[in-house]
Amino acid sequence: MSDLSLLSQPAHIVAPLLLGWEIERTIDNRKIRVKIVETEAYDQTDIASHSYNGQTERTKVMFQESGHLYVYFTYGMHYCCNIVTGSVGEGSAVLLRSVEPLNEYSFLESTRNKKGIEVTNGPAKLCQALKIDRTYNGHNLTQAPLKLIPKTQLPSESIQRTTRIGISKGKETKWRFYIKQNKYVSRQ
């Protein structure tokens, strides 16, 4: 039983807390574990967020209970996944930008047809590696086959805070967080 109550806080508080947490993804009886090393926060006051213009059919999961997964499809070929945070109706979430595999390396390399850090060092890459698609939109992260596993909080000295990547609006907001010196971080 994992306690995800920390996730009911605002996204920009939760985003650095999630660094170092693990995800357990079960595929064909394999229990794949990865560590979260890079995140970005988005909420309804944020012009770069999907929830900025209010709730729509696509974004409704962002407005639901925290501890669920918000998966969206972008650029015609990629999925990205977010962890919903805050309280119901708040419209906030944390984008997973990169993760570090902890086991099943060769399996992940085969799902991506890539090796090394290229397997999971980007938001769409990690979704492909872990086989996350829109069927997981709204998934409860306390349940298999996709579980979020809380870990002790990292010391603040090991966390770097910067502006976000890959957006055209809201660039000045420093809501990207990553673990310093981790090679899986997409851009240091």
- Residues interacting with DNA, by CB under 7 A? 40, 42, 48-51, 53, 56-59, 62, 70, 73-78, 80, 82, 93, 95, 112, 114, 118, 122-125, 165-169, 186
Smallest separation, CB 130 to DNA (Å): 12
Distance from chain centroid for Cα 99: 9
> Which residue carries 């902890």 as its tokens?
102
Q: Rank residues 88 and 144 by Cβ distance to DNA and give the closer one.
A: 88
Q: Which residues of 59-82 are buried (b: 16+ CB within 10 A; e: fewer)?
A: bebbbbbbbbbbbbeeeeeebbbb
CA 103 – CA 79 distance, rounded (Å): 23
Smallest separation, CB 92 to DNA (Å): 9
Q: Rank residues 115 and 151 by Cβ distance to DNA and give the closer one.
A: 115
DSSP state of 97: E
Smallest separation, CB 54 to DNA (Å): 8
Q: Rank residues 113 and 181 by Cβ distance to DNA and give the closer one.
A: 113
